[in-house]
Copies of this chain bind each other. A is one copy, B any other.
Amino acid sequence: MTSTTAADTRIDGDRLWADLMELAAIGAYDDEATGLVGVNRQSLTDADRAGRELLISWMEELDLEVTIDEMGTIFGRLEGEEPELAPVLIGSHIDTVATAGAFDGCLGVLGGLAVLRSFAEAGLRPRRSIAVAAWTEEEGVRFGTDMLGSAVAAGRLSLDHAYSLNDAAGLRLGDELERIGFKGQRPVRLAPPHAYLECHIEQGPVLAQEDRPIGIVTGVQSISWQKVTLHGRAAHAGTTPTELRIDAGLAAAQIIVEVRRMVDSGDYGRLRATVGSIETSPGLPSVVPDRAEITVDLRNPVDEDMARAEADLAEFLEHLPDTQPGLRVETAQMARTKAVPFAEDVQDVLETAAKERGYDSMRLMSGAGHDAQEIAAIAPAAMVFVRGQYQGISHNPREYSTPEDCLAGVEVLASAVKELSA
């Protein structure tokens, strides 16, 4: 491989920031909750079409070969010296949730574009082709399935299935793709690239806490979501002796305390557990709840640790009626994904790139899902995380990474792409 110097791929931070802000103006709205301007550019809406058109105009400025696949994913390709070699693929998404900021997804796509711009400005022609992809419907908020475009590209979901998904208004994804003019011709099944890279905001507090601008992502955690419903018996708070109660709310509380104990025990590796929603019925101060419903969100970077946590939690739930006979516990799996470890050698390239560029980095796993985890099924993949402000808040107009940190992430991406495409 050729040696890489930062000067070869100078990223124009001002241009990157200006592009981010220009794209964020499409779908902008006044957010009442924060008093800020947010972004609502959900997939395959008119706003998304406008964002796509702006992206394509920038790709064309750079003379990239633009193709649209059958899922509407946009590819902009810089041909390499040996075009028959598998390309290096950079990707992320420009669709957003309903209350988004400017960075989630967009930094990865516009950062990829900035990398190709740096090649053009330096007069560099890579050995391998380099492409930037903007995946369709990563957020999943409109059609209900996240990482949809990349999942179809990698072959996990079928095109027909994706086309048949409906939004809340009953509009079909296939029809909406056609309506906005983005049902492309390029076959959706992706030929495995040489490597896949994605630069993304962290959406978490770790880099800020550790005071480092850059994270090298080791993989995506396994996710297990279940709904646990406790069926007890309504009873008067004043007249019902404790021993005659079947308190569904108490059982819910015992589960919440138990999952935290499991996390703190260290017996399940890097388990994270969250009970985000608790609902009780009838919800009156003087009535013992006859019903409680909670969601249990478990995350774990190691599948075996996750399986053990799930099994032990299931056993705990099974024994919950021991202390309150008559209690009935019902569980329903809402979602379950396996852990996706990213390619070690691609992580190493990113780490070297960060060092070369002079940025403090650390390895960390991703708590959220990303297109990279889909493409990891067919190619060596890894991600660069960029530090977020305000505890890494995301999916919120307060989402913010500094221009310096955005530049840092894209510079690391650029060096890694140069290395991998050489």
Q: Which residues of A pack against B, CB within 8 Å?
A: 202-206, 209, 221, 223, 225, 233, 235-242, 244, 247, 249-250, 252-257, 260, 263-264, 272, 274-280, 282-289, 292, 295, 297, 299, 334, 366-369, 391-392, 394
Contact of A285 among B240, B257, B295, B392 (CB under 8 A): B295
How far apart are A132's CB and chain B's nearest CB, in angstroms? 25
The answer to whether A244 and B209 touch across the interface, beta carbons within 8 angstroms, is: yes
The answer to whether A239 and B286 touch across the interface, beta carbons within 8 angstroms, is: no
25 interchain pairs, CB-CB under 8 A: A204-B238, A205-B240, A235-B391, A236-B367, A236-B394, A237-B276, A238-B367, A238-B369, A239-B368, A240-B391, A241-B272, A242-B263, A244-B391, A247-B260, A250-B260, A253-B275, A274-B288, A275-B289, A276-B282, A276-B283, A276-B287, A276-B289, A278-B278, A278-B279, A279-B283
Contact of A238 among B264, B280, B368 (CB under 8 A): B368
In whole angstroms, how far apart are the Cα atoms of A206 and B239 in the complex?
A: 8
In whole angstroms, how far apart are the Cα atoms of A367 and B272 in the complex?
A: 42
The answer to whether A237 and B288 touch across the interface, beta carbons within 8 angstroms, is: no
In whole angstroms, how far apart are the Cα atoms of A252 and B286 in the complex?
A: 17
Residues of B within 8 A of A221 (CB): 238
In whole angstroms, how far apart are the Cα atoms of A235 and B392 in the complex?
A: 9
In whole angstroms, how far apart are the Cα atoms of A250 and B253 in the complex?
A: 8
Residues of B within 8 A of A202 (CB): 239
How far apart are A390's CB and chain B's nearest CB, in angstroms? 11
The answer to whether B276 and A238 touch across the interface, beta carbons within 8 angstroms, is: no
The answer to whether residues A286 and B274 also contact, given A239-B367, A240-B367, A241-B206 and a CB cut-off of 8 A, is yes
How far apart are A316's CB and chain B's nearest CB, in angstroms? 14
How far apart are A394's CB and chain B's nearest CB, in angstroms? 7
Contact of A236 among B241, B250, B334, B392 (CB under 8 A): B392
The answer to whether A235 and B205 touch across the interface, beta carbons within 8 angstroms, is: yes
Contact of A272 among B242, B250, B263, B272 (CB under 8 A): B242
Q: For A276, A280, A334, A391, which residue has the most chain B Cβ atoms within 10 angstroms?
A: A276
Residues of B within 8 A of A225 (CB): 285-286
Q: For A238, A282, A283, A284, which residue has the most chain B Cβ atoms within 10 angstroms?
A: A238
In whole angstroms, how far apart are the Cα atoms of A83 and B264 in the complex?
A: 74
The answer to whether A277 and B276 touch across the interface, beta carbons within 8 angstroms, is: no
Residue of B nearest to A284 (CB): B276
In whole angstroms, how far apart are the Cα atoms of A414 and B247 in the complex?
A: 39
Residues of B within 8 A of A275 (CB): 249-250, 253, 289
In whole angstroms, how far apart are the Cα atoms of A253 and B258 in the complex?
A: 10
Residue of B nearest to A275 (CB): B249
Residues of B within 8 A of A255 (CB): 253
Residues of B within 8 A of A392 (CB): 236, 239-240
In whole angstroms, how far apart are the Cα atoms of A415 and B315 in the complex?
A: 57
Contact of A278 among B235, B264, B292 (CB under 8 A): B292
7 further contact pairs, Cβ within 8 A, besides A202-B239, A249-B256, A253-B257: A206-B244, A235-B391, A237-B276, A240-B367, A274-B288, A278-B289, A285-B295
In whole angstroms, how far apart are the Cα atoms of A311 and B238 in the complex?
A: 20
Residues of B within 8 A of A235 (CB): 205, 391
